[in-house]
Structure 1
């Protein structure tokens, strides 16, 4: 897990603005310290030397993450349980 930045604020459009420390690509997911996906990067904005990312929130309670650090995972930590289908 690599730290990629910090969530700055929630824009009026509903997107999350993230100040980046490390370059990300559009479509990457960012997660919290426990590995839970919280946002998907929609676009990169700002200068190359000090980039920001505009991300789409994947959780309803995104306000609690404002001011916290976000991380990037190559593989998700949280795995889904193997569910059996009913007959």
Structure 2
């Protein structure tokens, strides 16, 4: 597993927004994302923002994602 980044907030449509400044390879759309306990969180739906510090939108599998804010996400 590789570090994807830290969860910043939830988008208006409920996606998890992850900030990552140290990605060597950007994740592809559809790649599964996990929390630090290796529990499946969701799938990468979009990578956007500047190349030097991209943001990743993860479409979650759970509805209660407020607890994810501030935690690390992995792919």
TM range (shorter): 0.7 to 0.9
Unaligned runs of 5+ in 2: none
The alignment's TM-score, normalised by the length of structure 2, stands at 0.86
The alignment's TM-score, normalised by the length of structure 1, stands at 0.75
| Structure 2 residue 47 is matched with structure 1 residue 47 | no
Moved more, 45-54 or 14-23: 14-23
Moved over 2 A (4+): none
Higher RCO structure, 1 or 2 (CA under 8 Å, sep 6+): 2
Unaligned runs of 5+ in 1: 73-87
Aligned to 1:7: 7
Figure out how many residues of one structure are paired with residues of the other and give that number: 72
In 1, Cα distance between the equivalents of 2:4 and 2:54?
11
1:37 is displaced (CA, Å) by 0.8
In 1, Cα distance between the equivalents of 2:2 and 2:45?
19
The CA RMSD measured in Å over matched residues stands at 1.1
